[in-house]
């Protein structure tokens, strides 16, 4: 059951947070820099912290609720 929850909850949430986070940070010029060799923009340190704080951390809290660990006395 935990494997099913992992693939049905955690993986889609992680991918969605990654895509949305990079799209939001990519639109703000102060939070990213352009790599000429790749031809793409990458988040700088502050942008990376914003992605972690605003997108990944709430997702992890949500997944902790879904993957609740119960103790047996």
In a domain, 73, yes or no: no
In a domain, 72, yes or no: no
Whether residue 57 has pLDDT greater than 80: yes
Distance CA 3, CA 8 (A): 8
Spatial neighbors of 20 by CB under 8 A, at least 6 apart, are 55
- Single pTM value for the model: 0.68
The number of distinct structural domains making up the chain is: 1
Task: Report the pLDDT value the prediction gives residue 12, as an integer from 0 to 100.
Answer: 86
Whether residue 3 has pLDDT greater than 70: yes
In a domain, 23, yes or no: yes
């Amino acid at each position: 059951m935990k494997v099913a929850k992992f693939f049905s909850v955690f993986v889609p949430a992680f991918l969605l947070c990654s895509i949305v986070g990079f799209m939001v940070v990519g639109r703000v010029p102060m939070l990213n820099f352009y790599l000429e060799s790749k031809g793409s923009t990458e988040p700088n340190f502050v942008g990376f912290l914003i992605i972690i704080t605003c997108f990944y951390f709430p997702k992890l809290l949500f997944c902790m609720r879904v993957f609740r660990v119960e103790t047996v006395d």
